[in-house]
Amino acid sequence: MWFKIAEIIKNLQEKIDLERLPEHIAVIMDGNGRWAKHQNKPRVFGHRNGVKAVREVTEACAELGVKYLTLYAFSQENWNRPKLEVSALMGLLVDTLTKEMATLTKNDIKLEAIGNISQLPRSTYNALLKGIERTKSNSRMTLVLALNYSSRVEITRAAQAIAEDAKLGNVDISTLSEDTFSSYLETAAYPDPELLIRTSGEQRISNYLLWQIAYAELYFTQVFWPDFEREHLYEAIVDYQSRERRFGKTSEQLV
Ligand code: FPP
């Protein structure tokens, strides 16, 4: 049985064209709660098992040669969840960030974050800063955690900062380009994601990287996040590679 699964994974991996890998993959990790409910367990059980998928996908992306992986770990809207769930999630982040340092180091992965992280509970914020500091010289892949993140807030803040710079005479609004606008976003240092994966069957963007995914291929799978394994990532990449990315052109113009 195990041998069979290993064979399926190997076959899928071999279908991936390493020359045409997405440089940046963004993921909306969804379905932890429902996964737990199906097993008559509390929602937190789903989040805890979601960590396994985070490890698996992070390692698999680094091994393949993906340069950036951005995970939606906590949206600004997630504060509306029951207090107990929010504090369990924050605690889980502290535990995971501490325990997984070895995995990040072993795989030469740099940890970074986007979102309003200064509003996170102190212990989560400190664990995050520690992880970012300890991995800052790693260079194989950058793992970006979106935490207390809202794309609309990010875009609004960028617009405010541009207006301030215009007042100071540092930006000419009449010639403001898309590239200059992008440079005011928290993701300024990363290329835009070419592939966005959302698990659990939901087909929404949920205020995630709205500017950055303008040309991303969207991949939705029924698999709940805790069940998302290496083979599912490979399937998403194979599917991505089968698509024709036209950027507004016709098929004929691409040949
Ligand atoms: C969405 O599932 C998941 C989250 C809001 C949290 C994701 C967090 C983790 C996977 C754990 C820790 C993460 C890291 C990066 C260490 P849901 O609860 O909305 O599921 P549901 O839609 O079934 O209710």
Domain range list for the chain = 22-150+194-239
For domain 22-150+194-239, the CATH superfamily is: Decaprenyl diphosphate synthase-like (3.40.1180.10)
> DSSP secondary-structure letter at 111?
E
**Model confidence pLDDT, tens digit, residues 204-219:** 999 999 999 999 999 9
Long-range contacts of 31-39 (CB under 8 A, 24+ apart): 31/199, 31/200, 31/201, 31/202, 31/223, 31/224, 31/225, 31/226, 32/224, 32/225, 32/226, 34/200, 34/224, 35/224, 35/225, 35/226, 35/227, 36/226
**187 CA to centre of ligand 1 in angstroms:** 22
pTM recorded for the entire structure? 0.95
**Model confidence pLDDT, tens digit, residues 55-106:** 999 999 999 999 999 999 999 999 999 999 999 999 999 999 999 999 899 9
**10 CA to centre of ligand 1 in angstroms:** 28
The best mutation among 28, 30, 44 to test binding of ligand 1, ranked by most ligand atoms within 8 Å of the C-beta, falls on 30
- Round to whole Å and give the CA distance between 143 and 183: 19
- Say whether 207 is catalytic: no
List Cβ neighbours of 5 (8 Å cut-off, separation of 6 or more).
231
**Model confidence pLDDT, tens digit, residues 122-174:** 999 999 999 999 999 999 999 999 999 999 999 999 999 999 999 999 999 99
Q: Is the Cβ atom of 71 under 6 angstroms away from ligand 1?
A: yes
- Round to whole Å and give the CA distance between 149 and 90: 14
Structure confidence at residue 39 (pLDDT): 96
Element containing residue 244 per DSSP (H, E): none
Helices (H) and strands (E) in the chain, counts: 10, 6
Neighbours of 237 (CB within 10 A): 27
- Say whether 30 is catalytic: yes
Structure confidence at residue 124 (pLDDT): 98
Query: Which member of 11, 17, 30, 207 is catalytic?
Result: 30
